[in-house]
Structure 1
Amino acid sequence: MPHLRIASVNVNGIRAAVRNGMHSWLDAADVDIVTVQEVRGQDEHIEAAFPGWSIVHDVATAKGRAGVAIVSRTPPLASRTQFGDDDFDSAGRWIEADFLLGDMPLTVVSAYVHSGEADTPKQEEKWRFLDAFGPRLSALAEDGALAVVTGDLNVGHRELDIKNWRGNRKKSGFLPRERAYFDRFLGEAGQQITGVDGTVGTGLGWVDVGRRFHGEVDGPYTWWSARGQAFDNDTGWRIDYHLVSPPLAERVQAYHVARAASYAERWSDHAPVVVDYAY
């Protein structure tokens, strides 16, 4: 069955990713769309990394930080960067582009949620981003629309998503309040969902492709710390997602985390997440 292959990856700096071997992966991946996070550069840097591709790119306000992009074999029909309240600086963290999946419109998002730091102003920015996330998911899924939010969302939703979850319960990325947002994003649409932190909210019905595809297993992880031998021991976090509206979930054909064969062969500290969506 024909499909659209979408890969998502935090490149940890596009220039470094190219130097470290990104093109070897790209040449073999046979992808139609790549959503990129943490570009850390200007338009000319990502254009040089993806010659011949169509590119939409949103640069972060702070030079050399964040940055999101969507690169594609065919130009998008439209793109947007509006996210959250007007006074919230989301530059370099959310970009949408519209494509066709067969003859159906599809919205693809590249998102880079703040890493945060518990009990600091950095975490307050993360809360604001997550507060805006839910309403945007609802809007994207209106009237049965096809939409996918990809990217480094910097939250491990469940204990299955972090190898050392016991040691991270008080750290940003696995705080109960952060996880409760995902309980609601992924909870049954229209139902009252009690989050892991005890709060109650309405489920939005979105689907975590990785968890649905792999079931109740640890991982597969998408990010590994540089400390110790985290990569070699597969002591990782699953924080890179494809979240899809319910109708798009029925079109998923394949899901794959493109983990490097060895530490030396990595070109980012994240692994690409690759999903095939049927026409």
Structure 2
Amino acid sequence: MRIVSFNANGIRSAASKGFYDWLAKHKADVVCLQETKAQEHQLGDALFRPKGFHSYYRDATSKKGYSGVAIYSKKEPDQVLTALGWPDFDEEGRYIEARYGNLSVVSMYFPSGSSGDERQAFKFKCIDWITPIFDAWLKSGRDYVICGDWNIVHTRKDIRNWSSNQKTSGCLPAERAWLDTLFLERGWVDSYRSLKPEAEDYTWWSNRGQAYANNVGWRIDYQVITPSLRERLKSCEILRDPRFSDHAPYTVDYAT
């Protein structure tokens, strides 16, 4: 089973750069998109319902043309969920979940705090609110794959300029400490780090300067899995080229 997570930074923009041509050749079973930046009624072109996939979107309702997540699935899910119960989060179009038997695949776009103190405060509020939800998922007995842009690096290996970003949203000590609790205490598994414990690859590059050309990046896109799926991890790849967005697609192959 191949699952792809990709922050499109505007699905129509990614489409214009060849994303759907690439997708047709990539043999994905489930594709989790974030930051679609569109309302579903704006995606009437058949391109946005890729052939061979069932397509599901969760748009932002609080601010049109903002955020938004989607799932494309070769197999029709048993159920699709689009809300976690907190309107401040749900209405920004940040969560969609497809269920297949005992497996849940989630596309999640976690808030960024880079625009200022107010959004950083919201990000921390989201962390406090969603942690018990993650705990409940762990205790549920279901297998979970949480795909998405988490907007947080975890360790020094996940960011090129570690020292200079200690006061930057996405690399704040308190944010990284939260990932410590998820991965080191609660038992969630970072699929990439499990498969490549020493690698230093990135999934996002700033559009400023020559960040992409010089590979000055951050690894903020994840597939976080329940411990039950660790033994099913086969391989993973961050697909830096071709470039459809300021993020790279992240692919994981799981044994079935």
Which category of TM-score, normalised to the shorter sequence, fits these structures?
over 0.9
1:34 partner SS: strand
| Aligned-partner Cα distance in 2 for 1:15–1:97 | 23
Query: Which residue number corresponds to residue 253 of structure 1?
Result: 234
Does the aligned pair in 2 maintain the 1:83–1:132 contact within 8 Å?
no
Give 1:215-254 correspondences, 5 Å limit: 215-218=197-200, 220-254=201-235
Does the aligned pair in 2 maintain the 1:14–1:40 contact within 8 Å?
yes
| Aligned-partner Cα distance in 2 for 1:231–1:78 | 38
**162-171 or 127-136, which deviates more:** 127-136
C-alpha offsets along residues 54-95 of structure 1, whole Å, 9 cap, x if unaligned? 1221111200100011111121111112325x3533321111
Alignment pair present for 1:169 and 2:146: no
Structure 1 position 245, deviation (Å): 0.1
Does the aligned pair in 2 maintain the 1:118–1:171 contact within 8 Å?
no
**52-61 or 161-170, which deviates more:** 52-61
TM-score computed with the length of structure 2 as normaliser: 0.93
Query: Which residue number corresponds to residue 59 of structure 2?
Result: 59
**119-128 or 176-185, which deviates more:** 119-128
Query: Which residue number corresponds to residue 205 of structure 1?
Result: 187
Does the aligned pair in 1 maintain the 2:20–2:50 contact within 8 Å?
no
Q: 1:75 to 1:216 in 2, by over 3 A?
A: same
Query: Which residue number corresponds to residue 152 of structure 1?
Result: 149
Alignment pair present for 1:32 and 2:13: no
1:135 partner SS: helix
Give 1:252-271 correspondences, 5 Å limit: 252-260=233-241, 265-271=242-248
Query: Which residue number corresponds to residue 133 of structure 1?
Result: 130
**227-236 or 238-247, which deviates more:** 227-236
Structure 1 position 225, deviation (Å): 0.9
Amino acid at match of 2:48: A
Aligned alpha-carbon RMSD (Å): 1.6
Structure 1 position 217, deviation (Å): 2.9
| Aligned-partner Cα distance in 2 for 1:83–1:122 | 20
| Aligned-partner Cα distance in 2 for 1:79–1:112 | 17
Q: 1:87 to 1:51 in 2, by over 3 A?
A: closer
| Aligned-partner Cα distance in 1 for 2:206–2:236 | 23
Query: Which residue number corresponds to residue 117 of structure 1?
Result: 114
Query: Which residue number corresponds to residue 72 of structure 1?
Result: 73
Structure 1 residue ranges without an equivalent (≥5): 188-202
Match of 1:8 among 5, 10, 13: 5
| Aligned-partner Cα distance in 1 for 2:54–2:199 | 37
Query: Which residue number corresponds to residue 82 of structure 2?
Result: 81
Alignment pair present for 1:97 and 2:98: yes
Structure 2 residue ranges without an equivalent (≥5): none
Match of 2:14 among 9, 17, 20: 17
C-alpha offsets along residues 73-118 of structure 1, whole Å, 9 cap, x if unaligned? 121111112325x353332111111025xxxx21011010111138
Does the aligned pair in 2 maintain the 1:11–1:17 contact within 8 Å?
yes
Amino acid at match of 1:267: F
TM-score computed with the length of structure 1 as normaliser: 0.85
| Aligned-partner Cα distance in 2 for 1:132–1:109 | 17
Identical positions, percent: 41
Alignment pair present for 1:275 and 2:252: yes
